[in-house]
Structure 1
Amino acid sequence: MPLWLNILVLSLLVYLLISLLVYFLQDYILFKPEKLPPDFQFAYENQETEEYNVETRDGAVINGLRFKAKGPRGIVFYLKGNSKSIKGWGKFAVDFTRHGYDVLMVDYRGFGKSTGRRTQKAIKRDMQLIYNKIKEKVSEKYIILYGRSLGSGFAAKLASMNNPRMLILDAPYYSLSKVGKRYMPFMPLSLLLKFPMPTYKWLRYVACPIHIIHGTDDKLIPYRTSVKLSRIKPKQTTLYTVIGGGHKNLHAFESYHKMLSDIIKSRPKEVDLTGSSHEYAQSSKSSNEAN
């Protein structure tokens, strides 16, 4: 067998091996769960909480916490990132309870006290089940969906199928396939990924106001991703930029908390463009322009 053919066969075998590894090990690459014993007791300073366990139709149990505000104005369904459990993520509930909103956080399958086999379809179904439970007690006009990193895709999917007051995306991705392409551009990730998470597709069907927050120094999911997402439904989307913000430290920026406060307190309203430059903003390039 010619040398070039040996090299080609060997290259194909290596490529096939890498593809198989990506397919079978991606769950360990994408998810970094922290598992908690069933008798673990959650405790947060100056926070009143109530623990819930919801059983799914396939027998899994989804564990969650409700952080209670005094005289709540609504509820934030907070979909967290891909690591640890709500044990650690719970500390971020104060960013909403201090504004008078209850916060519901849940652990995805295999995280914390939650059980069940993890698939994209199963998690989407679980989140809809939890959303339905919220709707039994709270009108949708008082529900805010907040998706952080990995949770941004699930939050977008929920918003596309329901009618919450608003959708807030924190450091969202265009799709996990796109994120993966940055690190393995030579792999057919659209075929290999079990969790493609096409946020961009789901956003097309979102009817509520969309607020996107992203840091300019995010090395994991670049800021340009949110710029691209903001163009999908531009009339109902607002992009908030945290100058210098990374992927995991937005909460350390004062500007982030001001943005969050403005978003939560915002009310949809029409803008009167009468007498503004909007009416001649699309004028022909051939016309005289003032310098």
Structure 2
Amino acid sequence: MGETLLRFLGLMVIGYVGVCSMIYLVQERLIFFPERDPPGTRYEFGLPVEEVWIPVDGAVLHALWFRQASAQGVILYFHGNGGTLRSWGEVAHDLVPYGYDLVIVDYRGYGQSTGTITSEAQLHADAAAAYHWVLSRYPEEQIVLYGRSLGSGLATRLAATYRPRLLILESPFYSVEAIARRQFPWVPPFLLKYPLRSHEWIDQVRCPVVIIHGTNDSVVPYADGERLAREVTAPLAFYSIAGGDHNNLMTFRSYHDAIREILER
């Protein structure tokens, strides 16, 4: 009986280690959902737009640059973990009418960006490269950082490192680590390669912070946005989109009212 129990426990340990190892090895597939745009893809949104290429270590990031005459600034937009510029370019209709240029970047392996995502440090380095590309063309006091979902972590880290005019976070997480612990509470935290701990950076942000979150968010709970907001030490505006889910805030008038209020300040 004792040997049987030991054998059973040994098999349980082996199984547990095996599952944890698998999660560690495939976690990029659990977090990132890249799609590809073939060369020659036309990006047409009814607005003047230019394709640009931003060199990074070992790869090149593809971006769209919406430009207009006499812009009062620029919005550097970091999108969520799925889709490409082919779909994300639609956000230009919500943002550029308020007198801003807009730069949207595809992550490595997304759209026509080359390379693959292999570490959180790499993600932040690529985001910094995009920021410096924008900074070489606009004064820093005219730069607005906009992070949506996955992009909220990258935008928060940038805002803590540099001094943009404004940080806007849509459907932000407290950290990817917190989400992972809810979904996989039995997995040791040290196995997470992409903890993206926004809560550890946001109290270092000195520019005004705006958080927009749907109350019915089924991916990143509304409570995560509230929890992150409590860590903000800079001037904060929090917009609750009643009934809003994770991917449909743009269908709510209250979202557009919030964007108008934010960008017409």
- TM-score, normalised to structure 1, is 0.87
User: What is the aligned partner in structure 2 of residue 276 from structure 1?
Assistant: none
User: 8 Å contact 1:69–1:98 — kept in the other structure?
Assistant: no
- Offset, 1:265: 2.1
What is the alpha-carbon root mean square deviation over aligned residues? 1.2
Q: Distance in 2 between matches of 1:7 and 1:63?
A: 52
Q: Quote the residue 2:168 is aligned against.
A: 168
The count of aligned residue pairs is: 263
Which residue in the other structure is 2:177 paired with?
177
Task: In structure 1, list runs of 5 or more residues that go unmatched.
Answer: 267-291
- 1:22-70 CA-to-partner distances (Å, cap 9, x unmatched) read 10111111111111223322222x21100101212x3311110011234
- Whether 2:94 is the aligned partner of 1:60: answer no
Moved more, 222-231 or 151-160: 222-231
The match for 1:155 is: 155
Contact 2:205-2:234 at 8 Å conserved across structures: no
Q: Which runs of 4+ in 1 moved over 3 A?
A: none
Tell me which residue corresponds to 1:28: 29
Alignment-derived partner of residue 42 in structure 2: 41
| CA distance, structure 2, for counterparts of residue 84 and residue 3 of structure 1 | 51
Counterpart Cα distance in 1 of 2:61 and 2:101: 19
2:254 maps to: 255
Name the counterpart of 1:96: 95
Distance 2:105 2:221 in 1: 26
Give the TM-score normalised by the residue count of structure 2.
0.96
Residue 127 (str. 1) matches residue 148 (str. 2):
no
In 2, the alpha carbon distance for the partners of 1:100 and 1:136 equals 20
- Compute the displacement of 1:74 (Å): 0.8
Tell me the secondary structure at the aligned position of residue 204 of structure 1: helix
The offset of 1:235, in angstroms, is 5.0
**Residue aligning to 2:212:** 213
Q: Secondary structure of the equivalent of 1:195?
A: coil
CA deviation profile, 1:150-195 (whole Å, cap 9, x unmatched): 000000011011111110000001111111111111111x211111
Cα distance in 1 between the residues matched to 2:5 and 2:260: 63
Q: Distance in 2 between matches of 1:203 and 1:246?
A: 23
SS of the residue corresponding to residue 2 of structure 1 reads helix
Alpha-carbon distance between aligned partners in 2 of 1:61 and 1:42, rounded to the nearest angstrom: 18
Contact in 2 for aligned 1:164/1:208 (Cα 8 Å): yes
Gaps of 5+ in 2: none
How do residues 3-14 of structure 1 correspond to structure 2 at under 5 angstroms?
Answer: 3-14=4-15
Whether the 8 Å CA contact 2:152–2:169 is kept in 1: the answer is yes
Letter in 2 for 1:206: V
| Partner AA of 1:4 in structure 2 | L
Partners of 2:131 and 2:223 lie apart in 1 by 30
Relative contact order, higher structure (CA 8 A, sep 6+)? 2
Larger radius of gyration: 1
* CA–CA separation in structure 2 for the residues paired with 1:60 and 1:148: 23
**Distance in structure 2 (CA, Å) of the matches to 1:69 and 1:194:** 39
Q: Which residue of 1 aligns with 2:239?
A: 240
Equivalent residue for 1:136? 136
Whether the aligned pair in 2 keeps the contact of 1:149 and 1:172 (CA below 8 Å) is yes
Give the share of equivalent positions with the same residue, in percent: 36
Tell which deviates more after alignment, 13-22 or 117-126: 117-126
